[in-house]
Each structure stands twice: as structure tokens, then as C-alpha cells.
Chain A
Amino acid sequence: MPLLEVHDMTHFFGGLRAVHDYNLSIEPGQIRGLIGPNGAGKTTIFNLITGIYHPTEGEILLNGEEITRLEPNQIADRGLGRTFQNLRLWRYLSVLDHVKMARYSKLTYGLTGAFFGTSKRVREEKATDKLAMDLLELVGIPHLADQIVTNLPYGAQRRVELARALATEPKVLFLDEPTAGMNPEELIQMMAIIRQVHSEIGMAIYLIEHRMKVVMDLCEIIQTLNFGEVIAEGTPEEIRNDPGVIEAYLGKEVVI
């Protein structure tokens, strides 16, 4: 059974049809890519599946459970983690606190613990500290744990976001342009981290990318989107040679 299924999802922003009859099925452990020209609706699809928008039509199933109308925090809690295209880090929180925050729904000490500092809270916070440090270790920035995120270089901020998404224990991880704005060196590091995370944790990954090298190297199956519709789906090799994809990116050859 697929881990994540999307059936005939359509979404309108007012009169604009942003996504049309979108279908998706991700198997456990698979890495899939979503590409398409600017404005094709890639991020909208991410936002629809992660609950930030609710689709006008269609249904989304995670592990067989319908999540179409759930709130983002509930969807995240059920195992769908994500990062954002334009980093959405919290300005005044430390790196460690970022990762710990993503454990919010897994903490059980409740308000009693929060108000009175019970031993249960101390225990859970300590365990969360440990888990968060392990994740920072995994993405290679344990030494930055106490830094405030705004002080960090861009590449490190991307890693914080990845570690934070991992802390939600995702079964499917959505990466929205994980290498956007990175220099070639950071890019290579980021790809290595994504590979390592995938091999160690083994979750499915769905990523949006503009850089063909990243998508072609990482993904098993790629979907191409244009004007909110899937115009091609297949292995990197198939996508590379698909005339529709080439047309969407480069335009049609016109003979005058």
C-alpha cells in the first residue's frame, strides 16, 4: 500500500485554477521529485498536502487515513514533515530550541509540567535535548546548538530547517527547494546530507527542485508540472527526453 496518496486534487484561488486533477502515490522509502517552471504550482501542491491550504476537491490519504481536512499540525504529527522554500526559522530561538519545538506534539507533560516544572517535564525535556542533539549531529551542526539562528550562514540555516523537519519523525519528508540559494560547495554537502538522512532513517522523500542535477541524481521518479497540471511522470531518464517537458521549460520551436 502506498504511504501517501493524493487523488484528483484540484484547487482554486478565487477564479484561478492553481492545481488541476493532481494525483500522487509515494511508496515507503521512495525519493520522488517535483519539477516545473516558476509558477507551475509546485509549492501550492506542497501546501495543499501539508494542510496549509485545503484543496477545493480531491482527497489525501496518509497511511490509508484521510488527512484532507486536517490542520497542518495534525498532519505533521501523523508523519508528514516539511521544510520551506524561503526559510521559515524563528528569529529569536536557538538552533536547539528549533529542533526541540518540532517535538511539541510528542511531549506529554502538559500544562502542569509547563507551569510547575515537574520531574516528568525535566525528564522529557532532557530526552528531547538528546534527540535534538542527535539530529543536529546527523545534519552536521551540533556545535551550533546554542546559536540564535539569525547569526548563522545560509547553508547552516538550511540544515537547521532539515533537522527541525526530521524531529517531527516524518514518514514522508517534503523538501521545498532544499538547495535554493546555495553555492556549489553547500549544494554538494546538502545532497550528501539528504542521502545520508534517507539511508539512516529511511523515510520517503518528496522534493521540489529547480536544479536538474539534484533532481536527476536523487530521485527515482519525477513529476513535471506546468500550469497546475502534471505533464509528465517517469524516471529521470524519461523526463529528460520528454518533449512536453522540454517544451514547458524551453518553449516550442516555431518554424517561420
Chain B
Amino acid sequence: MHRTERFTDLPAPWEVLTGGGGPPLLFLHGEEGQHGWLPHHSALAEKFHVAAPTMPGLAGSGRPTWVDTVPSLAKTYLALLDRMGWKQCILAGASLGGWIAAEMASMEPARFKALVLIGAQGFPTGAYDVPNIFLTPYRRYISFGYADPNGAAFRDMWGEAPTEDAAEHDLEVMEMAALVGFKPYMHDRSLSGSLARFSNPALLLWGEEDRLTPRPAALAFKEALPDAHLALVPGAGHYVHLEQPKSCAVAINEFVSEWVR
């Protein structure tokens, strides 16, 4: 069971999917987009009160014109938390959403009891042979984010030729990614220093076969975060939450019960 909450009294409107019960957990999607209430949301909702906002600039959530970087995006998400009345929560984000989450954690470290980064962007990946989202057709890029691009997880979500609405969503999410992550490519050098403020526990949840933010990216986060725990998920590529939603939720549950108080 989930519902869609709308906040229309902020500078730009927000759409937030919510569901479940327990400690509050904010989940940020990235350039893979917002495709409704998905299995990873449900799995997390068994232990948490999950809120999954739609990224500004995508249908449902507006983008104030001053938001054109990841730090400025992070500030709008913090304002959303103010509006929702969430004084403290667990903060999780995937890929570009992970990068946004990392910026939020560096800005208001006391607000987040724990940080969960799933294949987060934010540090340079460097190598020419790491697929570049701006040089690759969108859905082909997404396919590189799966350990098995021919598997059911990919096919169920991306297998069909996109409808008009889905093609529009692809464009919106790509434009947002380009707006905030074109240059430098999907990273913010200041994170290597600013994350030192975040002393609460952080889980780095990486697919064993992540080709989009390969292992060195995870290690860079480990280096920057004072209390980081790296967990590798077998059978998953970059989009762990989409390819292995159950393992993703289990890893987060275990991490929270072991380290977060």
C-alpha cells in the first residue's frame, strides 16, 4: 500500500510516494527515473516509513530556475523535508540520487541517522571506457547498469519500446542529469572533504558488477566518510535497487539493525 502526497505550497510543487511504517527513510531516485512504487520501495516499506520524492524537473515535481547543480538540488530536498516535518531520518539514494543524498548529508549531518548510497555518482570515474550517459542512448546506458541486461528485471521495466509518456520521462530525466552533471562529469570534488562532517554510519551498497560507477568510486566514498561500510551485492550491476530489490532491502535492514541507533 502506498499513496502519493503532493506539496504545492513550496516554491515548486513536489510529488512524493509514501508507504509502510517504522523509522522514516527518504529514498532518492537518480537518472533511472521515477517509475511509481516499485518492488524495492515495497521491500523497504516492510521495516520503514518510506518517502520517495520525484526529482524536480520530472513530471509531478517542478524545478525552481535557480536549481541547476547537485548542491542546489540538495537544498530543495532539505526544504521538502522541512515541509514534511521530518526532523530526522535515514537517507538513501541511488546513482545520481546517491550523489544528491551525499550532498545533503554533508550539509545537515545531524539530520540523518544513517546514509545509504547505492552505486552513487559523485566521485570521478575517470576512465574513458566507463559508459557516459551523455554519449549513449538513454535506455542503452540504463542497460549497462544491470549485471544481466537480458534478465527479467531489465526486461520487465525497460524491455518494451517506450510509450510517448515514457519517452517524455526519459527526456526529462536526461535533461536533469545533463543540467547538474554534464561537466565535470557526474561528480563534485568538494565531496572528498565535505563528507568528513558526516560521522553517522554510512552504507555503501554496490553491485558486484557495477559498470557505471565501478569499485574505485565506492572506495572514494569509503575514504571520504568517517564511518562507512561497504557491502557488495552479487547478481547486481549499478542499479542494485532495480535488479535485486529484495537483497537491497535486506542489506539496508541488516545495516540499520547493526549500526544505527
Partners in one complex: no
